[in-house]
């Protein structure tokens, strides 16, 4: 038998879902890689596929960073509408991260 929390999301989850619908910027955790794409999961368990930037294909640092983020389970900012990683100090500024 399912617990009440499994049937109905708690108040925090409902707030996160509502906030995620209102904003284009969400926190994601990298959960895998697939043919030039980074598979990410939002805090509300939605899956986003982020296309690997052209410049990153030759950039070993980008690949290492993505693997480190996957291994450590860190949350990073993503523009969910544009499906792009946001460039902050954690990301190498030399690469262009547009689709």
pLDDT tens-digit readout, 32-69: 999 889 999 999 999 999 998 887 778 888 888 899 99
List the Cα angle 44/39/80 in 5-degree steps.
Answer: 55
pLDDT of residue 10: 67
Average pLDDT value for the chain: 78
Q: Which CATH fold would you assign to the domain 4-85?
A: OB fold (Dihydrolipoamide Acetyltransferase, E2P) (2.40.50)
pLDDT of residue 63: 85
Q: 4: which 2 tokens? A: 């009440």
Identify any residues that bridge with 51 across adjacent strands, giving them in sequence order. Answer: 37
Binned at pLDDT 50, 70 and 90, residue 20 comes out as: low
Residue at token pair 């926190």: 27
pTM above the 0.95 mark? no
Neighbours of 78 (CB within 10 A): 22
In the 8-state DSSP scheme, what is residue 35? T
């Amino acid at each position: 038998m399912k617990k009440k929390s499994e049937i109905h999301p708690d108040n925090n989850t409902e707030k996160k879902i509502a906030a995620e619908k209102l904003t284009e910027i969400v926190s994601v955790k990298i959960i895998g890689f697939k043919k030039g794409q980074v598979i990410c999961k939002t805090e509300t368990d939605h899956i986003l596929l982020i296309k690997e930037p052209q410049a990153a294909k030759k950039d070993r640092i980008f690949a290492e960073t993505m693997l480190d983020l996957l291994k450590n389970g860190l949350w990073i900012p993503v523009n969910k509408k544009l499906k792009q990683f946001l460039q902050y100090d954690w990301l190498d500024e030399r690469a262009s991260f547009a689709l």
